[in-house]
Structures are given as C-alpha cells and as structure tokens.
DNA sequence: GTCTATAGGTAGATAGAC
DNA sequence: GTCTATCTACCTATAGAC
C-alpha cells in the first residue's frame, strides 16, 4: 500500500470540520474554530491541508466515498424500476444518516461548491450520483410505472430534499429515542405513491431495505 | 401616518442584501459587498441599520409581510382540507417565487436565525406560518382524506422543501422561457397524491390557483 | 508534525466633517 | 444622509524553531 496508515489527526480534522461546516456554514467556521475542535493549533492544520477549501473538499470526498458505492449497488438492485427506486431511497437515507454532518455541510454549501473551481471534483461526484437517480426514474417512466408529467430531475430533487429533511430530523428523533425507520417507511410511501402512475396504484408500498 | 415615506435607500439595501445573502450566505456577504451593490459607502449602511444582523432581520420582515397574509387567506379557503392544502401550496409557491432571494436567504440561514436571539422575531413568524400548515393537514387526517401515518410536521417539511426547490429551479425555468406553472401543477399532483389517503384516491387532482 | 510568532488582508463598526 | 478616515478584532496563511 502506498498509504499504509493515514494520520489519525487528518481524519479528526475532517470529522470536526464536517460538524462545524454543517452547523455554522463554511464562511461561519474559521480555521481557528476547526483547530480548537480538533485539539491542535491553527497553524498545524496546514501540515494536513494546503488551505481551508481543501478541508471542505476532503469532507466531500469522504461523503461520496460511501454514498457513491451505496447508490451504485442500489441502482443495480434486482427487480423493476420501482424496486430500484425504493432501494435508492433506502441507501441514500442510510448513508445520509450515517454521515449526517457531511451531508448537511455539502447541501448547505452547494452554491459555493458549484462556484469554486477547486471544488469541481465534488460537483462531478454529485452529478454521477444524480445520473443514477435520473436513469432509474426515466426507466420507470418508460415502463409506465412512474408518472411521466414530472421530469426525472424534479423527482430526484424532491426525493433528495426529503432525505435531507430526514437526515436533519433524524438527529432529533434519535435523541428522543424514536426509531427513525418508521419515518423512512412513511417517506417512501408518500413519495413513491405520489410519483407512481395513477393507473398502477395498488396501495401503500411496503418498506424496502433499512 | 407615522411613516409617511420609507427612505428608498433602505429598501434598496434590503433588496440587494436579500440577493447577496441568498447567493453567498450571510457570513459570505460583507457589509462592503452590500454597500457596493446598493451604490453607497459601507459607513452609510449604519444610517439605516444598527448592524448587519438587522439587515437580515429586515429581509425576513419583508418576506413574512407578504407570506403570512397569503397563507392566512389560503388556510381560510372555502372547501375541504384538501382544497385548503392546495390553496396553501399555490400561495406559498407564488409568494416564494415573487420573493425568491428572501426565501432562499431565510432558508439558507435557518440555523443562524434559530441561534441568534436578535432574530427571534423571524422564528416566531415562521412558527406562525408552520402552524397554519399543521392545522390544515391535521384536519385533513381527521377527516380521512389525508394519510395519517405521516405526522403533520413531516408533511409540512416535505411540501416546504419541495417549494424551495421550485423557487430555486423557477429562476432557471424563467430564464429559459419555460412557464413554471406546469411545474407547480406537477408538484401539487405528486405531493397531494402521495399524501392522500389510499382509500380516497380518484386520480391526479387539478391545479388550484396560480 | 506541532508549536510560537506574525505577516498581510479584511471583517464589522465608529468618529466627525459636510 | 452620505462621505472620508480610521479603529479594533479577526481572518487565512506563512516562517522558522523544536
């Protein structure tokens, strides 16, 4: 291996930066804040990252390193496009919950990411994920099981923001001891029912996966 | 009248600040940026606002001054809870589109707003609006026309973020000359269909309002 | 790889002339 | 009400000892 052991400090920096970016935003978080949360001096951050932007880039890399394979696997789920769509929702929700701060940080800084050339890799990764959703939905529309008066991009956006809300809310639910699985089930029911073609409705679909 | 004519400069400041906050975030926008966009010197901002927070507060006030009466009227729409829900979606979408930057700025700075005591009035206004959604949805569930396995808060969040996406996307659609009304219709169809009680479905509901 | 010290720039906000 | 000039504090980033 060329990377025998990544320095634990670097990982800790990315971890605390994710949380701070999620809670206070990129511009609302200073290198001093990150250093203090990581238990080192501000100057030491520059032994691990060339600059602040590169920390956000690392946050995104860590996120997509988990999200991309999960979505990829879900998009190849056996069954019809409806099964694959449910698998995608389950996978994205689970990864989003397990990487809550990274998810929130990236969603909250979407405009900044699109605007900053150095963060272009994150845009690429995001587009690759979105393509999986689009294709699954498009196939569902072609097969007649999904309504075709909603463009795949709009359906994807609707699902994605719903998951973002779940990720957010999930934190509070976890604190209150409420198993969030029921919420995922409800989300799937509402969205997939709503997106289904009116002629093919048979009732509330069962929960798939997590 | 105690306020015979609000200085046009103050309104211009709020207007450009809305756009800057929406595009770059609160912390990503400096008083210098706002002053430059408003065509004045930074120091002159302080003749209209005590500080930066108060500009964000004014952005929120302007937003809710339109949103609150619109939702209020929609929630008293004649007909059943389903009609009122469609009226709420139409009203919120229209106001959100007409106050795009204010909407995006407030949504993007939700955490900051909740955290900052000086911005508490915005939290109160937001809660008042949310209460209208909750009540309408709760009545719909009691009447059996809306599925009751989704708590009103989750349904409200789902609708709200969908509208936020529409407000965002609406800008691009407008630029491309695509009438966004069709999108609102599709949004209503998907969400209301999905939220409907499975036993009461009769097909895609018609577009209401705008 | 972490530290102290600090550079160079920008932030929000103020003083006071006009 | 707008301006010029400026204050103080904080920002990202660097230099160089250990």
Query: Domain holding B123: CATH number?
Result: 1.10.357.10
pLDDT surpassing 80 at residue B205: no
List the alpha helices (DSSP H) in A25-151: 31-38, 52-75, 81-98, 100-108, 110-115, 120-142
> Cα(A134)–Cα(A174) distance, rounded to whole angstroms?
31
- Ranges under pLDDT 50 in chain A: 204-210
Q: Which two tokens stand for residue A70?
A: 């999960």
Residue B173 reports pLDDT greater than 90: no
**Among A1-10, A62-71, B57-66, B171-180, the least confident range:** B171-180
Most distant pair of Cα atoms in chain A: their distance? 62
Average pLDDT, chain B: 89
pLDDT at A179: 52
B46 touches strand C (CB under 7 A): yes
Measured from Cα to the C1' atom, the residue closest to C2 is A44
The partner residue sitting opposite A183, judged by closest CB among B154, B186, B190, is B154
Is residue A5 in a domain? no
Whole-angstrom Cα distance, residue A63 to residue A102? Answer: 6
* Inter-chain CB proximity A157 and B165 less than 8 Å: yes
Give the pLDDT confidence score for residue B68 in this predicted structure. Answer: 98
How close are the terminal C-alpha atoms of chain B, in Å? 34
Q: Do B158 and A189 touch (CB under 8 A)?
A: no
Structural domain contains residue B11: no
For residue A28, being part of any structural domain is answered with: no
pLDDT at B7: 72
Q: Examine residue A33 and state whether it is found in any structural domain, yes or no.
A: no
Q: Are B141 and B153 in contact (CB under 8 A)?
A: no
DSSP percent split of chain A into helix, strand, coil, nearest 5: 75, 0, 25
Distance from CA of B108 to the nearest CA of A (A): 7
Q: Name the CA radius of gyration of chain B, rounded.
A: 19
> Which residues does residue B196 pair with via DSSP β-bridges, in sequence order?
B146
For residue B74, pLDDT beyond 90: yes
Residue B90 scores a pLDDT above 70 = yes
Is the pLDDT score of B162 beyond 70?
A: yes
Residue B136 has pLDDT above 90, yes or no: yes
- The domain in which residue A108 lies consists of 52-200
Q: Distance from residue B37 (CA) to nucleotide C9 (C1'), in Å?
A: 21
B42 touches strand C (CB under 7 A): yes
Asked if pLDDT for residue B19 goes beyond 80, the answer is: yes
In a domain, A119, yes or no: yes
Q: Which of A138-142, B5-9, B41-45, B72-76 has the lowest mean pLDDT?
A: B5-9
Q: Report yes or no on B25 lying in a domain.
A: no
Q: Would you state the pLDDT for residue B148? A: 86
- pLDDT band for B116, please (50, 70, 90 cuts): very high
Between B180 and B39, the higher pLDDT residue: B39
Nucleotides of D under 7 A from a protein CB: 1-5, 10-16
Output the pTM of the full model: 0.92
In a domain, B195, yes or no: yes
pLDDT at B30: 98
pLDDT computed for residue A197 by the predictor: 85
Domains: count for chain B = 1
A42 touches strand C (CB under 7 A): yes
**pLDDT class of B11 with cuts at 50, 70, 90:** very high
- Separation CA A73–CA A158 (nearest Å): 21
CA–C1' B43–D5 (A) = 11
Contact present, A193 and B153 (Cβ < 8 Å): no
Nearest CA in chain B to A165: B157
Q: What percent of chain B has pLDDT over 70?
A: 87
B27, B165, B189: residue with CB nearest A25 = B27
Please report whether residue B184 resides in a domain. yes
Nearest protein residue by Cα to C1' of nucleotide D14 = A43
Both tokens of B18, joined, read 């809305």
Helices (H), B116-203: 120-143, 152-176, 181-195
């Amino acid at each position: 291996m060329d990377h025998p052991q990544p320095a634990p400090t670097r990982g800790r920096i990315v971890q605390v930066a994710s949380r701070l970016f999620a809670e206070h935003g990129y511009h609302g978080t200073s290198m001093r804040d990150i250093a203090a949360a990581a238990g080192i001096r501000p100057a030491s951050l520059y032994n691990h990252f060339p600059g602040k932007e590169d920390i956000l880039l690392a946050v995104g890399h860590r996120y997509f390193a988990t999200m991309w394979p999960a979505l990829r696997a879900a998009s190849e789920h056996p069954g019809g496009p409806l099964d694959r769509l449910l698998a995608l929702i389950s996978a994205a929700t689970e990864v989003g919950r397990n990487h809550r701060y990274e998810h929130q940080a990236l969603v909250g800084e979407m405009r900044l990411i699109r605007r900053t050339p150095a963060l272009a890799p994150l845009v690429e990764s995001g587009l690759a994920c979105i393509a999986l959703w689009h294709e699954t939905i498009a196939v569902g529309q072609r097969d007649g099981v999904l309504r075709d008066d909603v463009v795949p991009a709009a359906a994807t956006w609707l699902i994605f923001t719903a998951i973002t809300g779940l990720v957010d809310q999930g934190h509070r639910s976890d604190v209150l001891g409420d198993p969030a699985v029921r919420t995922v089930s409800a989300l799937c029911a509402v969205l997939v029912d709503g997106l289904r073609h009116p002629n093919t409705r048979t009732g509330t679909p069962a929960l798939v996966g997590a």
